[in-house]
Homo-oligomer: A and B are copies of this chain.
Amino acid sequence: MDWRAIKFDWNRARAFLVTAEEGSLAAAARALDMTQPTLGRQVAALEQEIGVDLFNRRGRGLELTPNGMKLVEHVRAMGDAANRFSLSATGKSDIIEGNICITTTELLATFILPPMIQKLRQSEPGIEIEIISTNDESNLNRREADIAIRSFRPSQQELIVKKLYDVKGHLYAATSYLQRLGNPNSIDELNKANFIDFEKSGRLLSLLNAQGFNLSSDNFPVITKNHNVQWELVKQGVAICGMLEEIGDNEPLVERVVVPGLVPITAKVWIVTHKELRTNRRVRRVFDFLVSEFANYQNKYDRS
């Protein structure tokens, strides 16, 4: 067999791929933990090697040429295969030391995960933990994380999913704020209150209106995706927001908003990992640990 077509520097293909996807050399360099000159040189070397202009240098970032757009398909295929390789390789590794990346919501990352991670670090000092706190869905097939903890069952195939616990939440407000509202005693009275939503589309809005509220966007003067910010605003008496029962009940500055007809918010929390990774000792250790910790957490809370 001959390998003429394979002799080229594959790292240059990688540089091409990431640069094309990220849109600029600088962004690609950040993504790959390299420097912009390095990426620039790799891409330039690839262009010279194959004799094809891949990008048009524009003031702001780079732009794929028509040829580049066709060729990026192939390096994307390489990247997909590289992903599968990496995924499968990690699954077959049996060394316990190393990095584990967990992605979860800001709520869980802030209020629930930290003590668990502390405990895990003590029992497994060789495992380094990286937590990506984002409310965006992440793609485990691309190994954006090893383990995800989400409040929905992911749609992707090839994943292992397990229910962690049933989360229960309520509306909370600062005592001072409720007093200012005149201690509302019905849903109707709450219709003039202010709430904090995650996004303009109004997730909380539609949830509450489904329960008999009659809210409009006027009731949501503050919008932030960041749960911590939400919570601080509520503690300061700015508005009302939803919060996990166990967190809200333990915060002295706030109290549950209790009116007839208002039912608790419930959701399920799932832990997810890629099928391939389940066979990795390190991933399995963390996965099982979290499952067990969340079981303890739920039991402890249910009893109290």
Chain A: residues with CB nearer than 8 A to chain B?
A: 1-11, 13-14, 17-18, 21-22, 31-33, 50-52, 67, 70-71, 74-75, 77-90, 92-95, 98, 101, 138, 142-145
CA distance A81 to B8 in the complex (A): 13
Which of B13, B31, B88, B95 is close to A70, meaning CB atoms less than 8 Å apart?
B88
A-B pairs with lowest CB-CB distance, top 3: A51-B93, A74-B85, A5-B143
Q: Distance in Å from the Cβ of A299 to the closest Cβ of chain B?
A: 34
- Tell which of A1, A8, A10, A84 has the most Cβ of chain B within 10 Å: A10
User: 13 pairs across A/B with beta carbons < 8 Å?
Assistant: A1-B144, A2-B138, A3-B18, A4-B86, A5-B87, A6-B17, A6-B82, A51-B90, A51-B95, A70-B92, A71-B92, A74-B84, A77-B81
Q: Assess A51 versus B6: contact at CB under 8 Å? Given A70-B88, A71-B92, A81-B77.
A: no
Interface SS of chain A: helix, strand, loop or mixed? helix
CA distance A11 to B5 in the complex (A): 14
Asked whether B51 lies within 8 Å of A98 as measured between CB atoms, the reply is yes
Asked whether B93 lies within 8 Å of A8 as measured between CB atoms, the reply is no
Q: Distance in Å from the Cβ of A280 to the closest Cβ of chain B?
A: 9
Q: Distance in Å from the Cβ of A99 to the closest Cβ of chain B?
A: 9
Write out the residue numbers on chain B whose beta carbons fall within 8 Å of the beta carbon of A71. 85, 88-89, 92
Asked whether B52 lies within 8 Å of A101 as measured between CB atoms, the reply is no
Write out the residue numbers on chain B whose beta carbons fall within 8 Å of the beta carbon of A90. 50-51
Asked whether B81 lies within 8 Å of A74 as measured between CB atoms, the reply is yes
Write out the residue numbers on chain B whose beta carbons fall within 8 Å of the beta carbon of A95. 51
Asked whether B52 lies within 8 Å of A4 as measured between CB atoms, the reply is no
CA distance A93 to B67 in the complex (A): 9
- Tell which of A33, A90, A98, A101 has the most Cβ of chain B within 10 Å: A90
Asked whether A82 lies within 8 Å of B5 as measured between CB atoms, the reply is yes
Asked whether B82 lies within 8 Å of A8 as measured between CB atoms, the reply is yes
Write out the residue numbers on chain B whose beta carbons fall within 8 Å of the beta carbon of A6. 14, 17-18, 32, 79, 82-83, 86
Which of B1, B8, B50, B142 is close to A5, meaning CB atoms less than 8 Å apart?
B142
Write out the residue numbers on chain B whose beta carbons fall within 8 Å of the beta carbon of A33. 7
Q: Distance in Å from the Cβ of A267 to the closest Cβ of chain B?
A: 26
Which of B3, B17, B84 is close to A31, meaning CB atoms less than 8 Å apart?
B3
Write out the residue numbers on chain B whose beta carbons fall within 8 Å of the beta carbon of A87. 5
- Least CB separation from A132: chain B residue: B2
